[in-house]
Amino acid sequence: MCGIIGITTGAAAVRADPGAASGDTFVDDASEHDGILGVLLEGLARLEYRGYDSAGLALVGMPDAGGLWRARAANGTRSLDDLVKRAADAPEGATAGIGHTRWATHGRPAEVNAHPHVDCSGRIGLIHNGIIENHVELADELIADGHHFESETDTEVLAHLVESALDTGRALGLADAVRSALGRVRGAFSLAVVHADEPDLIVAARRVSPLLMGVTGSAAFLASDVPAILGLTRDFFVLEDDQIAELRPGRLTVTAADGRQIEPARLHVDWDLEAARKDGYDEYMSKEMHEQPRAVADTLLDRVLPDGTLALDEVHITNEELRAVNKVFIVACGSSYHAGMMAKYAIEHWARLPVEIDIASEFRYRDPVLDPSTLVIGVSQSGETVDTFQAVREARRLGAKVLVISNVVDSSMAREADAVLYTRAGPEIGVASTKTHLAQIAALDILALYLAQARQTLSPADARALLRGMGEVPGKVAVALERSTDVEAVAGRYRDSPSFIFLGRQVGYPVALEGALKLKELSYLRAEGFPAGELKHGPIALVEPGTVVIGVATRTPIWEKMMGNVAEVKSRGATVVLVAGDGDEETARHADSVLWVPPTEHLFAPMVDVVPLQLFAYHLARLHGYDVDRPRNLAKVVTVE
Ligand code: F6R
C-alpha cells in the first residue's frame, strides 16, 4: 500500500540519531538535498521496496515562496528519480513537509492522482494510506457546495473536508478540522496534513492503517513504516485508531477522538534497515502471510453497501449485460488459477451460471467457443503474466466480455479488459503468492455474489447473510495465523518425508492443489494434489506405508465422502494430516496430526483452510534451510510464454 513520511523542524536543522546503526544513518545519506527535503526524499527512497507507481511531496513555511509547494511524479518505479529532479526547483527554507509513495487503488497511476492532494485554495496538502469507503457520496456533497476536484482518488475528499471545516468555522484549527473531517468518513486510513497558514505543524490521524511518530531535538516526524525514519530515531510513538497527533518542532501532542489529551504508546526498535523492511518478521513471506486478514478486509471494503447489497464500481458492465451472460470462463495461472477454481463453485452455486476454468497457457490454443454473451474472467496478481494476458486478449478478439481481477492498478491486463475488479492486498514481494491469493478469492466471491444479485438468483436476505459471513473471514484468517507454531510442530514431524499427497473434494480440492503448489515451490519436494474421489482411479497406487497424505477435511456438504477417501489411504498405511474445523473430533479421530482452523461457511472456507497449508510449506522450507522469499527457478512476474 502507500507509504507516508512527514517532518517538521521549524527553522532548525535536521540532525541524525547519534544511536543509529551504520547503514541506517539518515541525513548524511541525503547528500543532494539537505534538511526537510533531504529527509523526505531519503524516506521515500526507503519506502520504494514496498512497490509504488508514483510519488510526491509538499513543503510549507518557505519565507520567499508563500503558500504550499508541491511536486509529484508518476513514472512507475522511476517516479522517485523524477521527483528528485523536480525537487531541484524547491524553494529554500521549508519548516515542514510531507511525502508519499502511492500504490494505486482508486484512480489510475498518474500525476494527477499522486499525493499530496490539495484543497481548492492549494494551501492545505494531504497524504493518505488506505481507502475512504464513502468518498463518492462525500465528493458529491462537496461538489454541490462548490468544491473543485482535480483527481480520481478517494483521498482528495479529505483535503476538501478539512478545508470545508475550516471555512465554515466548524473547526478552530487544523487538528480540529481533521477531527471534524474524520467524523464524516468510513474506511481505513492513515494520513498527514500540512497547512500553509500553520507552517510548523503537521496533523496526523489513523484508523486501521499504521502510523508511527518520533521526536528528537527540534524535529518531530512521522511515517507509515519504520524504515522510512529509522536513523532519525529508534524510539517511536504509535498512533492508535481515531487518535489525532499534532507534530510541531520538537513536540508531539496526541488527543483522542473526544479531544482529550493522551499519552501515546511507545515502541523501541532494535532492527536494522533490512529487518525493518520486513516489519520485524524474518522474511517477506511471513510478513505477507500475516497481512492476509487486512488484504481480505481491504478487498471487501466499500464494496458492500450499508444495506447489505453490493456495489462494484470498477465493473463497467451493466446489470442488463450481466443478465445476458450465459457462460463464464475463468483463465489464470498458478495460484491465481486455484483461486479461479474456487470461484467456479461459488459462481455456479450462487449465480447459477455454467463456469469453465482454464489454465491460461492452454486456453487460446484450444479454439474456445466464445461470443458476446460469454464472460471471461482473467485472474492475475501482477496483471502482467503473459499467458493470462494473451488469453484475455484472445477472448476480447472473439467478442467476449472480459473482466480482470488484478492486484496492480492499470496493469496491462486491466487496460485490456472491459471491467476490472482490483484486489487490495498491497504489493507482494515474496515470490510465492500468499496474501494476493486470499484477496483474489475474496474478490471472486464478491463477484459471484454480484452476479447472483444482478441475475436475481439469490434472495436479498440470503445475500445479506452470506455477506455477514464473509465479513468474519479476516478474523478467522487471523486466528489460523496465530497457530503458526502448532503448524511448525506438525511440519517438523514430517520434515524427512520425500513426498506429499494433498487431497480435497469440492472447494477443498483447489485448496489441496494450492497446498501442494506452495510445498513444491518452497521445499522443492514432490507434492501432488488430487481430487480425493479420483484417488482410486490411479493415484492411490502411490500410497504405501508411511506416505504422508494431507487432506482438507473441513465440513463441506460432501465431508462424509471425503472421509471415505481418507479411510482408503489410511487403510493402506498412509500417515494422515487433516485440516479440520475447531472442535471437530470426529474428523480428528482419522488423523495422525490435525491442522485446526475456525469453521467457515464452506464456499468461503478456502480463504481460511489454505492458511495452515501455506504455513506448513513455509515451515518445512525453513526446516530444510531454504530461502522462502526467493525460491529457486521462479520469478514473481512471468512475462514469457
Ligand atoms: C505461486 C505463484 C504463481 C503465480 C502465477 C500467476 O505461488 O505465485 O503460481 O500465481 O505465476 O501469476 P499472476 O497472478 O501474477 O498472473
Task: Please report the atom of ligand 1 found closest to the CA of residue 637.
Answer: 15
pLDDT value for 272: 83
Atom of ligand 1 nearest to the CA of 436: 14
Give the H/E segment covering residue 479.
helix 473-482
- Alpha-carbon distance 579 to 106, whole Å? 37
Q: Which of 638, 639, 641 to mutate to test the pocket of ligand 1 (most atoms within 8 A of CB)?
A: 638
The per-type count for the chain, helices as H runs and strands as E runs, is 22, 25
What SS3 state is found at 545?
coil
| Fold classified for 287-471 | Rossmann fold (3.40.50)
Q: Are 212 and 238 in contact (CB under 8 A)?
A: yes
Ligand 1 centroid to 319 CA: how many Å?
31
Residue nearest to atom 11 of ligand 1 (CA): 334
pTM: 0.85
Ligand 1 mean position to 34 CA, how many Å? Answer: 42
Domain spanning 482-623, CATH class: alpha beta
CA 341–ligand 1 middle distance (angstroms) = 14
Q: Would you identify the CATH topology of the domain 3-277?
A: Glutamine Phosphoribosylpyrophosphate, subunit 1, domain 1 (3.60.20)
Residues 331-366 pLDDT 10s: 999 999 999 999 999 999 999 999 999 999 999 888
Q: What percent of the chain stands above pLDDT 90?
A: 74
Query: Left (φ > 0), alpha (ψ -120 to 50) or beta: where does 404 sit?
Result: beta
Element (H, E) at 457: none
pLDDT class of 30 with cuts at 50, 70, 90: very low
In the predicted model, what is the mean pLDDT of residues 628-638?
A: 85
Reported as a single tens digit per residue, the pLDDT across 515-574 is 999 999 999 999 999 999 999 999 999 999 999 999 999 999 999 999 999 999 999 999
CB 315 within 8 A of CB 450: yes
Best of 342, 379, 385 to mutate for ligand 1, by most ligand atoms within 8 A of CB? 385
Closest ligand 1 atom to Cα of 333: 6
Q: Atom 3 of ligand 1 has which residue's CA nearest to it?
A: 334
Facing residues of 355 across strands?
A: 328
Q: CB of 154 within 8 A of CB of 135?
A: yes
- Cα 335 to middle of ligand 1, angstroms: 5
Q: Which helix (H) or strand (E) holds 102?
A: strand 96-102
Atom of ligand 1 nearest to the CA of 387: 16
SS3 40: helix
For residue 639, what pLDDT is reported?
73
> Which ligand 1 atom minimizes the distance to the CA of 388?
16
Q: Find the angle CA(535)-CA(536)-CA(542) to the nearest 5 degrees.
A: 65
pLDDT at 502 over 80: yes
Who's near 42: CB < 8 A, 6+ residues apart?
Answer: 26, 27, 29, 30
Residue of minimum CA distance from atom 16 in ligand 1: 380
Residue 629 has pLDDT above 50, yes or no: yes
Rounded to an integer, the average pLDDT of 236-252 is 94
Distance 431 CA to ligand 1 centre (A): 8
| CA-nearest residue, atom 9 of ligand 1 | 334
Angle between helices 435-455 and 334-346 (to 10 degrees): 30
**Contact indicator for 503, 565 with CB cutoff of 8 Å:** yes
- Which pLDDT tens digit goes with each residue over 119-159? 999 999 999 998 898 999 999 999 999 999 999 999 999 99
- Whether residue 588 is predicted with pLDDT greater than 90 in this model: the reply is yes
pLDDT value at residue 28: 42
pLDDT at 262 over 70: yes
Dihedral sign (CA 37, 7, 122, 2): positive
Atom of ligand 1 nearest to the CA of 332: 16
Ligand 1 geometric centre to CA of 213 (Å): 36
Which residues surround ligand 1 with Cβ inside 6 Å? 333-336, 380-382, 385, 388, 432-433, 517, 521, 638
Burial of 120 per CB tally in 10 Å (0-12, 13-18, 19+): middle
Q: How much is the mean pLDDT over the chain?
A: 91
Atom 7, ligand 1: which residue's CA is nearest? Answer: 432
Q: Please, where in the chain does CATH 3.60.20.10 lie? A: 3-277
Output the nine-digit C-alpha cell for 426.
498491497
Measuring CA to CA, which residue among 502, 447, 118, 186 is closest to residue 312?
447
Q: Where in the sequence of the chain do the CATH 3.40.50.10490 domains occur?
A: 287-471, 482-623
- Asked which of 226-235, 386-395, 605-614 is least confident by mean pLDDT, the reply is 226-235
For residue 77, the model assigns a pLDDT of 85
Task: Report how far ligand 1's centroid is from the alpha carbon of 339 (Å).
Answer: 10
Ligand 1 center to 554 CA (angstroms)? 26
- pLDDT band of residue 102 (cuts 50, 70, 90) is very high
Contacts of the segment 305-308: beta carbons below 8 A, 24+ positions apart: 308/460, 308/463, 308/464, 308/467, 308/468
Q: Which of 4-8, 92-96, 160-164, 269-273 has the lowest mean pLDDT?
A: 269-273
Q: What's the 430 CA to ligand 1 centre distance in angstroms?
A: 11
* 338 Cα–ligand 1 center, Å: 10
CA separation for the pair 193, 161 (Å, rounded): 12
| pLDDT tens sequence across 264-314 | 999 888 888 888 888 889 999 999 999 999 999 999 988 877 666 677 767
4-13, 50-59, 152-161, 541-550: the lowest-pLDDT one: 4-13
Whose alpha carbon is nearest atom 5 of ligand 1?
334
How far apart are the CA of 616 and the centre of ligand 1, in A? 19
Secondary structure letter of residue 302 according to DSSP: T
C-alpha 271 – ligand 1 centre gap (Å): 31
CA of 91 from ligand 1 middle (Å) equals 45
Please give the angle made by the CA atoms of 364, 366 and 368, to the nearest 5 degrees: 75
Q: Which residue among 358, 359, 361, 381 is best mutated to probe the pocket of ligand 1, counting the most ligand atoms within 8 A of its Cβ?
A: 381
pLDDT-derived band of residue 12, with 50, 70 and 90 as boundaries?
A: low
336, 513, 637, 639, best to mutate for ligand 1 pocket (most atoms within 8 Å of CB) = 336
What's the confidence (pLDDT) of residue 31?
A: 38
Return the best residue to mutate from 423, 433, 437, 630 for the ligand 1 pocket (most ligand atoms within 8 A of CB). 433
Where does the pLDDT of residue 34 fall: very low under 50, low under 70, confident under 90, or very high at 90 and above? Answer: low
Residue 333 Cα to ligand 1 midpoint, Å, equals 6
Angle formed by the axes of helices 292-300 and 473-482, nearest 10°: 180
For the ranges 97-106, 455-464, 608-617, the maximum mean pLDDT occurs at 608-617
Which atom of ligand 1 sits closest to the CA of residue 432?
7
Which residue's CA is the closest to the ligand 1 atom numbered 4?
Answer: 334
Q: Which grid cell sits at 207?
A: 484508523
Confidence tier at 26 by pLDDT (50, 70, 90):
low
Angle value at C-alpha 80, between 75 and 86, nearest 5 degrees: 90
Residue 193, all three cell numbers: 496534513
The single-letter DSSP state of residue 348 is I
Q: Cα of 432 to ligand 1 centre, how many Å?
A: 7
Confidence of residue 254 (pLDDT cuts 50, 70, 90): very high
Ligand 1 atom with least separation from CA of 334: 9
- Ligand 1 centre to CA of 409 (Å) is 17
Of ligand 1's atoms, which has the minimum distance to the CA of residue 440? 14
Band (pLDDT 50/70/90 cuts) for residue 20 is: low
Question: Is residue 63 within 8 Å of residue 77, measured between CB atoms?
Answer: no
Cell numbers given for 149: 476536484
Nearest one of 253, 250, 274 to 264, comparing CA atoms: 253
Which of 592, 497, 525 is CA-nearest to residue 553?
Answer: 592
Burial (CB count within 10 angstroms: exposed 0-12, middle 13-18, buried 19+), residue 241: exposed
Cell numbers linked to 84: 528528485
